[in-house]
Amino acid sequence: MSTRSEHSGTEHSGPSDAELLRAHVEGDPVAFAELVRRHRDRLWAVALRTIGDREEAADAVQDALLSAHRAAARFRGDSAVTTWLHRIVVNSCLDRIRRRQAHPTVPLPDGRSTDDGGVGTGPEPVAPAHDHDTALVVRAALAELPAEQRAALVLVDVQGYAVAEAAEILGVAEGTIKSRCARGRARMALALQHLKTGSDIVGDTRHDGNRGDRRSVSPRSAASVTSRTAGPGTGPDGREDRS
C-alpha cells in the first residue's frame, strides 16, 4: 500500500498521514516519528526561511513538533495533517521573531548574526560567485521583511504553495496572503535594485541606456529571483532539502 503525501506529492509506502496521527493518539510509539520523518525536511525549510537563523529555526521546529505531539488528540481533520504541522511550525517561528524584534543584531539565513548590518560571508554550495552574492542579498532582504509578509512569501514564492494552501496554513483569508505577498515583493524589489546587469533578474527591469546599470526591479522579478535563490535550504542535519 502506498499513500501520496499532501502538498509535496511524494508517495510513501504504508499508512497515510492521518492514519499515522490517529495511531499516535491511540498509543503507537513509532507513528509520530514516521510522520516527522516524512515531513521534517519541508518543515525545516519553511522554518529556516521564515526565521532566518539555523539555530532558532531548529529550536522552532523542535518546539512545534513537541506541541504537535502533545496536541495530536485535538486534531479534528478539518485540514490536511501537513497543513496542521506547517501551521504549528510557522506560528512557532513567528512567535520567536516577535520576541527577538527588540534585539539589535539581525540573524541571517546562513546561521550567523551581524552587529553592524553586514551580510555573512559563509560558503554557498556549488554556486558561482555572482549567484552566491545574489543569494546573500536576497536572503538578507527576506530576513528584513515584516514577519507576516516573510511567512507568506516563504510559503508561496520559496516553497511553492498555492495561495489557498498558504492561507490555510497561516489561518488567514486568501486575499490577505495576496496582499502580504504583494507588499513583500515590493519591498524585496527595492532591496534588489542595486544588482548589476548580468544577474539572473532579467524579466522586468529597466536599464540606463548609457551605463547598463539596473534602474529598477519589479515585484514580479523579485518574486522570481527569491524563489530561485532563497530556497530550498539544507536540513538541520546538513543534507540539502529537495522536497
Domain ranges of the chain: 11-103, 120-232
Among 111-125, 132-146, 160-174, 195-209, the minimum mean pLDDT is found in 111-125
The pLDDT of residue 55: 94
Across residues 78-96, what is the average pLDDT? 95
Residue 9 has pLDDT above 70, yes or no: no
Of 201 and 193, the structure prediction assigns the larger pLDDT to: 193
- Confidence label for 181 from pLDDT (cuts 50, 70 and 90): very high
> Hey, do 11-103 and 120-232 end up sharing a CATH topology, with the first three levels equal?
no
Domain 11-103 has CATH 1.10.1740.10: yes
Percentage above 70 pLDDT, the chain = 60
Domain spanning 120-232 has what CATH number?
A: 1.10.10.10
Among 73-77, 113-117, 219-223, the minimum mean pLDDT is found in 113-117
Residues comprising the chain, all counted: 243
Percentage above 90 pLDDT, the chain = 48
Are the C-beta atoms of 53 and 93 separated by less than 8 Å?
A: no
Residue 33 has pLDDT above 90, yes or no: yes
Cis amide bond preceding 232, omega within 30: yes
Share the mean pLDDT of the chain: 75
Are the C-beta atoms of 201 and 195 separated by less than 8 Å?
A: yes
Residue 124 has pLDDT above 60, yes or no: no
Across residues 147-161, what is the average pLDDT? 93
| AA letter at 230 | A
Are the C-beta atoms of 243 and 10 separated by less than 8 Å?
A: yes
Distance CA 77, CA 95 (A): 25
Among 18-22, 31-35, 70-74, 202-206, the minimum mean pLDDT is found in 202-206
Of 8 and 144, the structure prediction assigns the larger pLDDT to: 144
Across residues 218-229, what is the average pLDDT? 59
pTM metric for this prediction: 0.68
Q: Helix crossing, 54-71 with 81-100: angle to 10°?
A: 130
CB atoms inside a 10 Å sphere around CB 203: 11
Task: Transcribe the chain into DSSP letters.
Answer: -EEEPTTT--EEESS-HHHHHHHHHTT-SSHHHHHHHHHHHHHHHHHHHHH--HHHHHHHHHHHHHHHHHHGGG--SSS-HHHHHHHHHHHHHHHHHHHHTT-S-EE-TTS-EESSS----PPPTT--HHHHHHHHHHHHHHHHS-HHHHHHHIIIIIS---HHHHHHHHTS-HHHHHHHHHHHHHHHHHHTTTPPTTSS--SSEEE-TTT--EEEE-HHHHHHHHHHHS---B-TTS-B---
CA 85 distance to own-chain centroid: 14
The pLDDT of residue 219: 63
Q: Which residue has the cell 492561507?
A: 167
CA distance to 79, 83, 135, 177, 232, per residue, from 86 (Å): 11, 5, 25, 15, 16
Across residues 41-51, what is the average pLDDT? 94
Residue 242 has pLDDT above 50, yes or no: no
Residue 32 has pLDDT above 60, yes or no: yes
Residue 8 has pLDDT above 80, yes or no: no
Residue 54 has pLDDT above 50, yes or no: yes
